Amino acid sequence: MNIITGGVTAPKGFKAAGIHCGVKDNFTTPVPDKKDLAMVLSDVPCAAAGTYTRNVVKADPVILTKEYLADHKAQGIILDSGNANACAPKGMENAKRMAAAAAAATGLAPQDFAVCSTGIIGVELNITAIEAGVPALVAALADTEQASNDAAHAILTTDLKIKEIAVTTEIGGKTVTVGAIAKGSGMIHPNMGTMLCAVTTDCAIDGAVLQDMLRHIVTKTFNRITVDGDTSTNDTCVVLANGLAGNAPITGPGADYDALVEALRYVCEYEAKMIASDGEGAGRLVTCTVQGAASEEQAELMAKAVVRSPLVKCAIFGTDANWGRVLCAVGYSGAEFDPKDVEVKFLSQAGELKVCAGGQGVPFDEDLAKKVLSEPEVVILVTLTAGDAACSCWGCDLTYDYVKINGDYRS
């Protein structure tokens, strides 16, 4: 597998575009880019798969996309940022109008499109601006890196960085490319945010197989990040696979299946970590890896509790090697373990620091601790001796800016 430049337009036969149409015009948060409408389109029909928020309160575009993709077929994705079209007047009507506008401008059917929205909750979507903008959006479609970049910009809300990735892998003697763009400044931002990810590939694969593969991969990537523990009403990850790589279609387990899993998982994990590190107000990416656990489920419970803990997140912000908070989070995670069996280390490019062994503190160098924790990427490594299972989850520190972004933005 190789990492290459580009995003959703890297696989064969995909175009993208991102423009400003006016959805963000009454969006009072400072946004890094005013683009607010994006499209990803394949030249030919695709096998399609999607995963969606588990929140009981689902935005209408989520409900509609799930319905449209039930046959595992689609050809494009239309996305807006600035308005989540959740709990909003005329939500379903406007979601359908978005798909219809995309269809009319491309000569396809509304059911060929996934519809994704992200932004404020409870406010009516400016569908007139979207409908007026779609022709220009379609006219701007291109298979260039710049086009993917434009689309990546057009889906941001409080994000500070675009989140693009592309990789190639060998499947059945053919080069298969997987590309993606994502947004999310936290796993979850019911008012401002949401996690959206659009993945494209030219791999040939059966739609139902792709759906199973995606569901499995999402549990191990996007479902392992957290910024604030709030699950959005709009979270969506959609994959379009157009088959133009020319490989023999993947219809089940085997080497080809595994190669695509590796590429798709890499892409999803990359985007997930990008979202965590660009969490609202975040200064650093925090990885908690739990190893030596009795099962992956147990390791995941522990790792997720650590990266979710506000006290751990504040400690990382304060470059404080506060392992007591790590132990405490592991302790209330719901996982079963012997507290006397816990070792904790902090790791980063600046070095490695053992802070706890046998469930008790060990002396450490406070200056080194400061250095280790000041790096942009910090790993909290929790080691048990209960088994062979391991899991990593990702989050970010909790800073003044998180409070500012979420407390002040309407003031």
Binding to a second copy in span 239-298, by CB under 8 A: none
Q: Which residues, listed in sequence order, are joined to residue 382 by a DSSP beta bridge? A: 290, 344
Closest CB 6 distance from a second copy, rounded Å: 34
**Residues of span 75-104 touching a second copy by CB under 8 A:** 84, 86-89
Q: How far apart are CA 244 and CA 44, in angstroms?
A: 9
Closest CB to a second copy among residues 33, 60: 60
Minimum CB separation from a second copy for residue 109, in Å?
29
Site for a second copy in 51-80 (CB under 8 A): 54-58
The minimum distance between CB 37 and a second copy, in angstroms, equals: 22
Annotated catalytic residue 157: no
Q: Which member of 172, 229, 246, 387 binds a second copy (CB under 8 A)? A: 229
Question: Of 231, 236, 277, 392, which one interacts with a second copy (CB under 8 A)?
Answer: 231
Least separation, in Å, of the C-beta of 382 and a second copy? 12
Rounded distance between C-alpha atoms, residue 80 and residue 156, angstroms: 9
Of 45 and 318, CB closest to a second copy: 318
Which lies closer to a second copy via its Cβ, residue 107 or residue 407? 407
- Residue partners of 408: CB distance under 8 A and separation at least 6: none
Question: Rounded CA gap, 255 and 260, in Å?
Answer: 9
Instruction: Report if residue 403 touches a second copy, rule: CB under 8 A.
Output: yes
Output the smallest distance, CB 409 to a second copy, in A: 7
User: Cβ atoms within 10 A of the Cβ of 394, count?
Assistant: 28
* Comparison of 231 and 242: residue with beta carbon closer to a second copy: 231
Angle at 269 between CA 382 and CA 265, to 5 degrees: 115
Q: Dump strand ranges (E) for 101-209.
A: 113-120, 163-171, 174-183, 196-201
Q: How far is it, in rounded angstroms, from Cα 102 to Cα 108? A: 8
DSSP H helix total and E strand total for the chain: 11, 15
Residue with tokens 């949401």: 194
Work out the angle between the directed axes of helices 310-317 and 296-308 (0-180°, nearest 10).
60
Q: Which of 329, 372, 391, 393 binds a second copy (CB under 8 A)?
A: 329
Which residues belong to the active site? 194
Binding interface with a second copy (CB under 8 A): 54-58, 84, 86-89, 120-123, 188-191, 228-233, 308-311, 314-315, 317-320, 322-325, 327-332, 335-337, 339, 356, 359-361, 398-400, 402-411
